Structure 1
Amino acid sequence: MMNNQYSMKIYPAGRGRDIYRNIEICGNSTLNQLCQVILEAFDFIDEHLYEFCMDNRMYSEYTYQSDPEGDEPSADITLDEVGLCKGQKFSLHYDFGDDWMFTIRVSKISEVQENFKPRIVKSKGSIQQYPAWDEEDFDDE
């Protein structure tokens, strides 16, 4: 039985291309699990609501919700069920107060024998979820 492996590149929107994470995740993982690995990859604390915007726009109509109301689509759906394709871009909109947007690009879909836990394969740059106001930042101006 072969399984899909998705290779994805994730970068925080509006921060240029110098900050990103490459991850690999199995097709039977859920969008919720994808959110967890993205937050972990950027050292964010998982304590807010989120949605996946499948057309890559904030407050999109086409979303999967972490806390769906009524018959809204839930992020408790597997990547295979979402039907992702290579080259597709979608977004994680995290924390409806601070409105973090992470752009996710499916760079490759391959077949693997074994399921595995989502993993971070490359990291570049960093961002702070709650930037500290620090006097020292102004010293070298």
Structure 2
Amino acid sequence: MIQTLNIQLIHGIYAEDSWEITIEVPENYKLIDLSSIILDSIEFDDDHLFEFYISKLPRSKMRERFECDEEEITKISIGEIAEKLTGKSLFYLFDYGDSWLFKINKTRKKLFTPIKNIQYPQIIKQVGTKPEQYPDYDEY
């Protein structure tokens, strides 16, 4: 089945504009796959540590964490995570130094069977301007 997710950049040290995408992704994809999807869609290098966490707010102390060096990140599926999101959001923190923070929510669109001849995951909507991961540092 296909899950529809909205991914919004809510903090980034070099972000000058808002950016978000809506994607359709197989619910059996793992969190490690979701990390790659996000980084590919924003055109970032995969060269830093990261984590996912579930909480009500980005800075909530009560959170369920999934760190990049834990084996669980390669085993827990997007479908399993989606079941835990009632009243909460999934957050993706990439690069602890620059603190790129993304908020991930299920959309109201119901799960659906993959459509023949469609390559998943796929971006179905993009809004805003992608930030640069490593802009010219003289500008900041």
Report the TM-score when normalising by structure 2.
0.75
The answer for the alignment partner of 1:67 in structure 2 is 69
**1:92 partnered with 2:92:** yes
Q: Does 1:123 align with 2:126?
A: yes
* 1:44 and 2:47 aligned: no
Structure whose alpha-carbon radius of gyration is higher = 1
Aligned residue type for 1:90: L
Q: Does 1:13 align with 2:16?
A: no
The equivalent position to 2:136 in structure 1, one of 114, 127, 132, is: 132
Letter of the 2:126 partner, please give it.
Answer: S
CA contact (8 A) 1:87 1:106 kept: no
Deviates more, 1:35-44 or 1:57-66: 57-66
Shift of 1:19: 1.4
Q: CA deviation at 1:58?
A: 5.5
- Confirm whether residue 80 of structure 1 aligns to residue 84 of structure 2: no
Structure 1 unaligned blocks of 5 or more: none
Separation in 1, partners of 2:43, 2:60: 24
- Structure 2 residue runs without a partner (length 5+): none
User: What secondary structure sits across from 1:112 in the alignment?
Assistant: coil
How many angstroms does 1:62 deviate by?
Answer: 1.1
Relative to total residues, which structure has the larger helix share, 1 or 2? 2
Q: CA deviation at 1:66?
A: 1.3
